[in-house]
Structure 1
Amino acid sequence: MPRPTPVRVVSELASRGYNAEREAVTLLARADDLDRAIERATESAPTDTLTLSAEDVETALPALESSNPPADTAEASDTSTDNPSVSGGTTSHGSNEATNSPVETKGSAIGAADGKLDEEGGASERSVNPELRSLDVQGDVTGRSTGTGEYADFVATFRDRYERLSGLLRSRVNHRPTEAVDAMAGGSDAAIVGMIADIRSTANGHWLVELEDTTGTFPCLVLKDREIAGVVDELLLDELVAVEGTLAGDGGILFVDELHFPDVPRTYRPSTADRHVRAALISDVHVGSQEFAADAWSAFADWLHTEDAAAVEYLLVAGDMVEGVGVYPDQDEELDIVDIYEQYEAFAERLKEVPGDMEILLIPGNHDAVRLAEPQPGFDEELRNIMSAHDARFSGNPSTVTIEGVTILMYHGVSLDEVIAELPEEKANYDEPHKAMYQLLKKRHIAPQYGGHTRLAPEERDYLVMEEIPDVFHTGHVHKLGYGKYHNVLAINSGCWQEQTSFQKSVNIDPDVGYAPILDLDTLDLTIQKF
């Protein structure tokens, strides 16, 4: 009978929870009875072994040969000639459990498990060198949360926000504290850096913006016929701005001539990697939902095993691994898996479908089993253990990830709902989620408005300030694909892997399903793969 291919050997081992060295697979592929050879090799291997070595197989095979049945019996017991792709997670024979279990290809796995079938039925290898990789995470609240909900915590959060963002504005204006401006003579030129405490229109159609700093508050008037009146509708409560203008004749109010956001300088130039390497940026997988797009996910995972995806060495997932429980009204009626831990177990199985040599980073979202208030700490130890496939790494929401010199700000994106609700449609909407992301870049804060749609946790440090400019800003949450550049910062909202739910239908959201933005880290060019 034909010898089994290396791909089939790897599939059989994976269905039993093992990887193997290349030479070990070669030895097993030479066995006349693959099932008995694997059974013997796995039974005789040390109990803590996850990757079979050539020595393990060599030790097992002599004992097997002494007890082999006649050749005609062995041939009659295995009539399968199928040779499936290892990336599909199926085997040509065996139990249903083996058929339904995705192939686990850890970083130490052989090339056959990390490649695709070539024309001869073998496997092409992903050419990766882990020594060239680097992935560092900053700005993660995990393990650093200090908030207790007391008044002092809120004061600390807003004071930290003010100090760091005002530092970005002070170089642009000759500002003075509000108490000093209040003491200046009428008609004087003045500038203030402050947090927006109130915005309201006057009876004559002008705008009164009240700014607050650490010394007090001061009213600033934007006249309706001034050019800057066009940006007032972009302002959100609690964000930081700088204004310049002239005090009224009797003082007490500042007529605004110029308004400045912390913003990203137009001269900003992003960093790039020193070699050709790519990252897949996805979000909102929602395993556990009846609407989870399983076929699209499997097609994506299969593609990652192909030569076309050989340079994709990083996978960044921006939240909502699972559908969760009780997130929106009547959600239980649309759940395929009702237990939250079983949802994460199912997600872990899906994660095993991707190549085992990839670097994977996961941050939580509002459907995940972490606190809802942002910043969100990363997954707890129990959930990390469930999602341990491929030695995935975990971080909080948001987190700044530097990959081979390229800085990527990962944020799930709940505050996008707030920006879209508050700003005019032409400046922020669901069909163009990157425009709402531009607003956050302009404000240099992930969720500036407190007390609205976004739950915010008071901490000693405001982890939502964009003090450093990212090269790439990656979000999800709104289930819409959108991308573009704002002052040379690439903004990407990566869509989702869940078909339209009844809740989304009720709020008129038609999701963009099965898209995988692929980022070239050496050029920051973006390719959108549809599955």
Structure 2
Amino acid sequence: MPLETPARIVRALVSRGYNAEREAVTLIAGSDDPGVTLAQVVESVPDDALRITADHVRGVLASTPEADPPEVEPASGAPEKDPSVSPATPADQTEPVSETTPPEAKGSWSGRNTDPALRSLEIANDMTGQSTGTGEYDDFVKVFRDRYEKLSKMLRGRVNHRPAKAISKMSGGEDAELVGLVNDVRSTKSGHWIVELEDTTGTFPCLVMKDKDIAAYVDELLMDECIAVQGTLSGDAGILFVDSMHFPDVPRGHRPNTADRHVQAALISDVHVGSQEFMAEAWDRFADWLHTEEAANIEYLLIAGDMVEGVGVYPNQDEELDVVDIYDQYEAFSERLKSVPGDLDIVMIPGNHDAVRLAEPQPGFDDELRDIMSAHDATITSNPSMVTLEGVNILMYHGVSLDEVIAELPAEKASYDEPHKAMYQLLKKRHVAPQFGGHTRLAPEELDYLVMEQVPDIFHTGHVHKLGWGKYHNVLAVNSGCWQSQTDFQKSVNIDPDSGYAPIVDLDTLDMTVRKFS
């Protein structure tokens, strides 16, 4: 079969043990005889080369007199992509969840037809290489000051904020409004609530009466999140009686961005290669399906952490490992990644099982791991990161703080069975991990990279191994399940995972369907 498409070129290279740069694939595909060019490139590269570069291909083309290598000019501001091939009719998406295992690739589809200029992928707030924290006291002061400044700006348009120190000097009975981080929450003997708020000038106690409607908000509060209150000072001006409470929140009138054409993204997480419970057959079905015409409009694959099972993450984990060396796990993951189409744009962030620091924000993988996972030249960024695909802002966060949210809040507000509701709470707080000093490890940096300064159009998490999605103030929240069946450890903590699912999002409408491969 002729190598007239980028996907076939990538598969042919993979079968020979090579990865390739996008531009290298583009140059091979644009040559007079891609099959001959590919063979000459493979023959000419050094024996120790694992990756075909554009320079390798140019060298072959330059040594062939009749060859006229095409100019490869990416669109301004857009990354280089593979050349286009014929578009396919979008898959029927009337059913939100497909329980039928999709057919495997038949080899009759010629590939995606995408003008490289139409694709765009940008990353914001990648903190890889930007870490400055040393664990000193001043580092903690800086990160909390930055958190307060960013979140208080979102609230000051709703209240006439006065600093805590200034309120303490006011007369009793006056109206007062305060923006602060939650420093303490405690109940009184009468069943009322005292919420102590802290700003850059000090702390001030605020009393929420149990018979007020806003008392329900107290159950949602986490330590260190930022809120605003309005109320009246007591007669001695020692406490503020709260009449209303505000959260940074997503504006109710938020209008999400959408792509200008019909294009889709697959959202997955928690692959856990290296575990005895990794679902290899389900992954293979997913990868095969991505090569079919039914998946023709999927041009982006977003993986929200935990590429591998890791080592020493939980007690007795070594008894559940199929691959015991962490680097061998990443080698095995890379092999799995090679099975997906080479003309997909892939974005990956780390998770708590990955070989990066546990404290959030987590920088992207180091150079050694990036070299191992070089298949398809994936974009690797930090956890969390805002990824913009053709104008659609997707906040990718692995999701460790969801455990804490679910543990602290009432079941109707957040649960493992409905993980997207826990995500709603993070959107409401505009912070992916607001509580410091709990189960979620947080690193003190000069900046708080965990604040949601920009409202996402899609919020994508993993970690809890449960599938759930919904919309909160027009933001699509998706927890994408996992690719690992239940482990003995999960049984011991009563986690029944949702495995082998792939949420597929239409970037032009933000509608979503879920494909099942297990």
For the Cα contact (< 8 Å) 2:419–2:466, is it kept in 1? yes
Q: Which residue of 2 aligns with 1:64?
A: none
Q: Name the amino acid aligned to 2:52.
A: L
Query: Deviation per CA, 1:90-109, whole angstroms, max 9, x where unpaired?
Result: xxxxxxxxxxxxxxxx9759
Query: Deviation per CA, 1:281-340, whole angstroms, max 9, x where unpaired?
Result: 110000000000111111111111111111111111000000000000000000000000
The CA deviation at 1:13 is: 5.3
Q: Which residue of 1 aligns with 2:248?
A: 262
| CA distance in structure 1 between the aligned counterparts of 2:123 and 2:404, rounded to whole angstroms | 27
For the Cα contact (< 8 Å) 1:283–1:495, is it kept in 2? yes
Partner-residue secondary structure (3-state), 1:390: helix
For the Cα contact (< 8 Å) 2:269–2:462, is it kept in 1? yes
Q: Name the amino acid aligned to 1:271.
A: N
Structure 2, unaligned stretches of length 5 or more? 19-24, 65-79, 89-102
Query: Deviation per CA, 1:112-151, whole angstroms, max 9, x where unpaired?
Result: 9x9x9998x6542221222211111111110110000000
Q: Which residue of 2 aligns with 1:90?
A: none
| CA distance in structure 2 between the aligned counterparts of 1:430 and 1:276, rounded to whole angstroms | 32
Are residues 1:164 and 2:150 paired?
yes
Q: Which residue of 2 aligns with 1:16?
A: 16
Are residues 1:234 and 2:236 paired?
no
Counterpart mapping for 1:13-162 below 5 A: 14-17=14-17, 21=29, 24=33, 44-45=43-44, 47=46, 50=52, 122-162=108-148
Q: Which residue of 1 aligns with 2:496?
A: 510
Q: Name the amino acid aligned to 1:356.
A: G
Are residues 1:201 and 2:203 paired?
no
The CA deviation at 1:42 is: 6.7
Q: Which residue of 1 aligns with 2:283?
A: 297
| CA distance in structure 2 between the aligned counterparts of 1:522 and 1:107, rounded to whole angstroms | 20
Query: Deviation per CA, 1:128-184, whole angstroms, max 9, x where unpaired?
Result: 222211111111110110000000000000000001100111110112111111111
For the Cα contact (< 8 Å) 1:377–1:397, is it kept in 2? yes
| CA distance in structure 1 between the aligned counterparts of 2:499 and 2:371, rounded to whole angstroms | 28
Partner-residue secondary structure (3-state), 1:124: coil
Structure 1, unaligned stretches of length 5 or more? 29-37, 61-105
| CA distance in structure 1 between the aligned counterparts of 2:35 and 2:350, rounded to whole angstroms | 41
Q: Which residue of 2 aligns with 1:94?
A: none
Q: Structure 1's 234 and 53: CA in aligned 2 closer, same or farther, altered over 3 A?
A: closer
Q: Name the amino acid aligned to 2:463.
A: H
Counterpart mapping for 1:56-455 below 5 A: 122-455=108-441
| CA distance in structure 1 between the aligned counterparts of 2:411 and 2:483, rounded to whole angstroms | 26
| CA distance in structure 1 between the aligned counterparts of 2:389 and 2:204, rounded to whole angstroms | 43
For the Cα contact (< 8 Å) 1:401–1:409, is it kept in 2? yes
| CA distance in structure 2 between the aligned counterparts of 1:42 and 1:143, rounded to whole angstroms | 35
Measured on the aligned residues, the alpha-carbon RMSD in Å equals 2.8
| CA distance in structure 1 between the aligned counterparts of 2:9 and 2:129, rounded to whole angstroms | 42
Are residues 1:463 and 2:449 paired?
yes
For the Cα contact (< 8 Å) 1:117–1:123, is it kept in 2? no
Partner-residue secondary structure (3-state), 2:152: helix
The CA deviation at 1:15 is: 2.2
Q: Name the amino acid aligned to 2:486.
A: Q
The CA deviation at 1:185 is: 1.0
Q: Structure 1's 44 and 515: CA in aligned 2 closer, same or farther, altered over 3 A?
A: closer
Q: Percent identity?
A: 69
Are residues 1:474 and 2:476 paired?
no
Q: Name the amino acid aligned to 2:184.
A: D
For the Cα contact (< 8 Å) 1:118–1:124, is it kept in 2? no
For the Cα contact (< 8 Å) 2:180–2:199, is it kept in 1? yes
Partner-residue secondary structure (3-state), 1:451: coil
Q: Name the amino acid aligned to 1:383.
A: L
Partner-residue secondary structure (3-state), 2:173: coil
Partner-residue secondary structure (3-state), 1:259: strand
Point out the structure with max Rg over C-alpha: 1
For the Cα contact (< 8 Å) 2:505–2:511, is it kept in 1? yes
The CA deviation at 1:14 is: 3.6
For the Cα contact (< 8 Å) 2:105–2:291, is it kept in 1? no
Partner-residue secondary structure (3-state), 1:171: coil
Partner-residue secondary structure (3-state), 2:191: coil
For the Cα contact (< 8 Å) 1:285–1:320, is it kept in 2? yes
Partner-residue secondary structure (3-state), 2:170: coil
For the Cα contact (< 8 Å) 2:361–2:449, is it kept in 1? yes
Q: Structure 1's 152 and 313: CA in aligned 2 closer, same or farther, altered over 3 A?
A: same
**TM-score, scaled to structure 2:** 0.85
Partner-residue secondary structure (3-state), 1:227: coil
Q: Structure 1's 10 and 143: CA in aligned 2 closer, same or farther, altered over 3 A?
A: closer
**Larger RCO: Structure 1 or Structure 2 (Cα < 8 Å, ≥ 6 residues apart)?**
2
**TM-score, scaled to structure 1:** 0.83
| CA distance in structure 2 between the aligned counterparts of 1:16 and 1:184, rounded to whole angstroms | 77
Q: Structure 1's 123 and 243: CA in aligned 2 closer, same or farther, altered over 3 A?
A: closer
Q: Structure 1's 55 and 186: CA in aligned 2 closer, same or farther, altered over 3 A?
A: closer
For the Cα contact (< 8 Å) 1:117–1:124, is it kept in 2? no
| CA distance in structure 2 between the aligned counterparts of 1:108 and 1:180, rounded to whole angstroms | 60
| CA distance in structure 2 between the aligned counterparts of 1:453 and 1:527, rounded to whole angstroms | 33
Count of residue correspondences: 469
| CA distance in structure 1 between the aligned counterparts of 2:425 and 2:494, rounded to whole angstroms | 23
| CA distance in structure 1 between the aligned counterparts of 2:380 and 2:42, rounded to whole angstroms | 34
| CA distance in structure 2 between the aligned counterparts of 1:9 and 1:214, rounded to whole angstroms | 59
Q: Which residue of 2 aligns with 1:88?
A: none
The CA deviation at 1:509 is: 0.7
| CA distance in structure 2 between the aligned counterparts of 1:302 and 1:118, rounded to whole angstroms | 5
Q: Name the amino acid aligned to 1:497.
A: W
Partner-residue secondary structure (3-state), 1:435: helix
